[in-house]
């Protein structure tokens, strides 16, 4: 999850976007209280590292995507997008539906958040209707 923290700046690039990596908590042996730690990574620096890794290791990336492990990971990510009805998944659905019905190509960035929300509510209603028809309400 990416968060914008205005009072925190990255020492490398000066950015304010941070990726919330993980939060850890444990009970202190001395005081017995619950301690909670969060890890933040600069989003711009992280993107730069990922781009460099892809650029420096193209053969490994291609072989991973062709392997069964890579295909399974991609399928899990797509299934998670479908289950959570992410904006990216809905944009892709809207684009595909328009292209299949009219043959017209549209720019995905031009799809507004209102259109996404309407489509999301439509999909939720369809899923509920399907559950009722199958008797799994």
Render pLDDT for 115-131 as a digit per residue (tens, 0 to 9).
999 999 999 999 999 98
- Going from N- to C-terminal start, the domains of the chain cover 1-47
pLDDT tens figures, 16-27: 888 776 667 778
> pLDDT for 51-75, tens place per residue?
999 999 999 989 998 999 999 999 9
Whose structure tokens read 């209603």?
Answer: 125
Do the Cβ atoms of 61 and 70 come closer than 8 Å?
no
pLDDT above 80: residue 105: yes
CA atoms within 13 A on the CB side of 67: 9
In angstroms, the Cα distances linking 23 to 5, 18, 31, 51, 80 are 17, 14, 20, 25, 21
Does this model's pTM top 0.85? My answer is: no
Q: Residue 38: pLDDT above 70?
A: yes
Give me the pLDDT at residue 55, please.
94
d(C-alpha 38, C-alpha 47), whole Å? 20
């Amino acid at each position: 999850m990416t968060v914008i923290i205005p009072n925190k700046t990255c020492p490398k690039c000066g950015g304010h976007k941070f990726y919330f990596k993980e939060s850890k908590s444990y009970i202190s042996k001395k005081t017995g209280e619950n301690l909670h730690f969060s890890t933040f990574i600069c989003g711009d620096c992280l993107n730069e590292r990922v781009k460099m890794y892809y650029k420096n290791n193209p053969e490994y990336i291609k072989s991973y995507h062709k392997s069964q492990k890579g295909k399974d990971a991609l399928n899990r990510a797509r299934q998670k997008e479908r289950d959570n009805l992410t904006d990216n998944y809905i944009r892709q659905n809207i684009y595909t539906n328009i292209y299949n019905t009219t043959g017209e190509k549209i720019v995905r960035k031009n799809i507004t958040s209102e259109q996404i929300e309407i489509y999301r509510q439509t999909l939720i209603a369809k899923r509920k209707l399907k559950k009722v028809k199958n008797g799994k309400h």
